[in-house]
Each structure stands twice: as C-alpha cells, then as structure tokens.
Amino acid sequence: MRRFRARVRVMPRPSLLDPQGQAVAHALGELGFRGVAAVRVGRTVELTLEAESAEAAREGALAMCGRLLANPVTEDFALDAVEPA
C-alpha cells in the first residue's frame, strides 16, 4: 500500500446562480481590482488515500465524488491531481 494525495474540485453548475461568486466579484471591484469579468466559488477536497496504485487511488476518489463529495443536481466535479504523498 502506498499513500496518495488526490485533489477533487467541485463547482456549482454554470446554469446555477452563484451569489457567492457574484459577491466576490463585486467586492474585488470595490477593492480596486480591474478586469474581473466573472467569479465562481466552489470546493476543493484533498484526500489522502492508501492505495495499491495511483490508478486505484484515482478510481477511489472518483467513486467518492459520485457518492458523496458532489451533489449531481447542482454540482460538477473534476479530479485535478493524484500524486504520491
């Protein structure tokens, strides 16, 4: 068994209003940042996994997204990285 770190990104569906993203965009404007066209805020879940291989860790992480980490009604997910930890 080896240790891996898997990084999952869960974002609100683009079709869904993201009031938090809007609030951040607005606040950035007030702070004087120019050129902020849009902001979306989602979640990052960093998993430390024991697995036989990177492939197994990746599969595990994807299964966790499907079951728990993302809500299929409102969110999309992506597995950004699987690295030895």
Partner 1 sequence: MSARAREGDPPLTPELVRRHGLTADELERIRGILGRDPTYVELGIFSALWSEHCAYKHSRPVLKSFPTDGPQVLQGPGENAGVLRLGHGWAVVFKMESHNHPSAVEPYQGAATGVGGILRDIFTMGARPVALLDSLRFGPLERERPRYLMRGVVRGIGDYGNCVGVPTVGGDVAFDDAYEGNPLVNAMCVGLVREDELIRARAAGPGNPVMVVGSRTGRDGIHGASFASAELSAQSESRRPQVQVGDPFTEKLLIEASLELIGSGHIVAIQDMGAAGLTSSAAEMAARGGVGVDLDARAVPVRETEMTPYEVLLSESQERMLVVARRGREREVEAICRTWELTATAIGRVTDDGVFRVRWGDEVVAEIPGRDLVERAPVYAPAARESPAIARLRERALPAGAGPGQDLGAALERLLDLPTIASKRWVYEQYDTSVQTSTVMGPGGDAAVLRVRGTPLGLAVTSGGSGRYVWLDPYEGGKAAVAEAARNIAVTGARPLGITDCLNFGNPEKPEVFYQFREACRGIADACRALGTPVTGGNVSFYNESPAGAVYPTPMIGMVGVLPDVSRRVGAAFRAPGDVIVCLGRVRGELGGSQYLSLVTGEVFGRPPRVDLEAARALVDCLVEGAERGLLASAHDVSEGGLAVALAECGMLAPEPLGFDADLGAVAGAPPDALPAAAVLFGEDQGVAVVSVAPAAAAELAAVAGRHGVPLAAIGTVGRPGGAARLAVGGERVERPVAALRRGYENGLPRRLDGGAGMSLAQGA
Partner 2 sequence: MKFAVVRFPGSNCDADAFAAAEAAGAAATYVWHRSTDLEGADVVVLPGGFSYGDYLRAGAIARFSPVLRAVAAHAAAGRPVLGICNGFQVLCEAGLLPGALVRNAGLAFVCRQVAVRVETDATPFTARYRPGQVLRMPVAHGEGRYVADEATLDRLEREDRVVFRYAGDNPNGAMRDIAGITNEGRNVVGLMPHPERAVEAALGSDDGAAVFAMAAVAAGV
Binding stretches for partner 2 (CB under 8 A): 12, 15-17, 19-20, 23-24, 27, 30-31, 41, 43, 68-69, 71, 73-74
Bridge partner residues of 81 (DSSP): 7
Given partner 2, partner 1, a copy of itself, none, residue 42, with its beta carbon under 5 to 8 Å by kind, binds: a copy of itself
Distance (Å, whole) CA 82 – CA 48: 10
Q: Which of 17, 4, 78 is nearest to 44 (CA)?
A: 78
CB of 73 to a copy of itself, least distance (A): 18
16 binds a copy of itself (CB under 8 A): no
55 binds a copy of itself (CB under 8 A): no
23 binds partner 1 (CB under 8 A): yes
Within 10 angstroms of residue 6's Cβ, the number of other Cβ atoms is: 24
74 binds partner 1 (CB under 8 A): yes
Within 10 angstroms of residue 7's Cβ, the number of other Cβ atoms is: 15
